[in-house]
Amino acid sequence: MFIHKIDEEVSLKLIELRDSESIFDLTNKSRSYLREWLPWLDITTKLEDTVEFVKLSLKGFSENKSLSTVIIYKGSIVGVAGFNSLNWSNRTAQIGYWLGEEYQGNGIMVRVAKSLTDYAFSYLNVNKVEIRAAIENKKSRSIPENLGFINEGCIRQAEWLYDHYVDHVVYGMIFDEWNNNDY
């Protein structure tokens, strides 16, 4: 099993089927909060929907195409983060994440994104890590900005959110940039 300890409070663990109920409960507690920026809330209405997500995540992991982890904070599952896609031919990884509403403001996601970036460069041997966020999603955008990622531009109408499109900002970090700076 993949467990990556970040610090005394935070660690990442490979998502497992037995995590489904905790993830679903966390989703329900934060449903209206998460719905503002995540497109899957309306199709995740029962535990079985989360079980299917976990199964797809494990399939992606077994095919070496993605890596989904649960974020453990002080012993509890508080969110999900990982590599939504791993492109081995281009040596790129794309980080995605979400955090339960009650756990916001503890610096958890900056630590998680930093650790995932370190992991991508040190263990996966990728050349580039990307993080994408909706232009208006200031909280999500602050994560790569705080870590020194470069704003590489905007993808117009990149995602359909229930009744409208949102543009995405693409942030990138190159291996040489990361290793030459103290993030």
Give, for all 183 residues of the chain, the pLDDT tens digit.
678 999 999 999 999 999 999 999 999 999 999 998 999 989 999 999 999 999 999 999 999 999 999 999 999 999 999 999 999 999 999 999 999 999 999 999 999 999 999 999 999 999 999 999 999 999 999 999 999 999 999 999 999 999 999 999 999 999 999 987 765
pLDDT of residue 183: 56
Residue 136 has, within 13 A of its CA and on its CB side, a CA count of: 11
**Number of compact structural domains in the chain:** 1
Say what the pLDDT of residue 130 is. Answer: 98
Tokens representing 171 are 């942030």
CATH number where 108 lies: 3.40.630.30
Q: What is the pLDDT of residue 179?
A: 80
Long-range contacts of 174-178 (CB under 8 A, 24+ apart): 174/127, 174/128, 175/121, 175/126, 175/127, 175/128, 177/148, 177/150, 178/117, 178/118, 178/121, 178/129
Residue range(s) defining the domain that contains residue 32 = 3-179
| Assigned token pair, 79 | 């969110």
Distance separating alpha carbons of residues 170 and 107, to the nearest angstrom:
21
Q: Which amino acid is at 115?
A: S
> CA-CA distance, 181 to 183, in Å (whole number)?
6
The answer to whether 72 and 13 are in contact (CB under 8 A) is: yes
Q: What share of the chain is helix, strand, coil (3-state, %, to 5)?
A: 40, 35, 25
CB 3 within 8 A of CB 14: yes
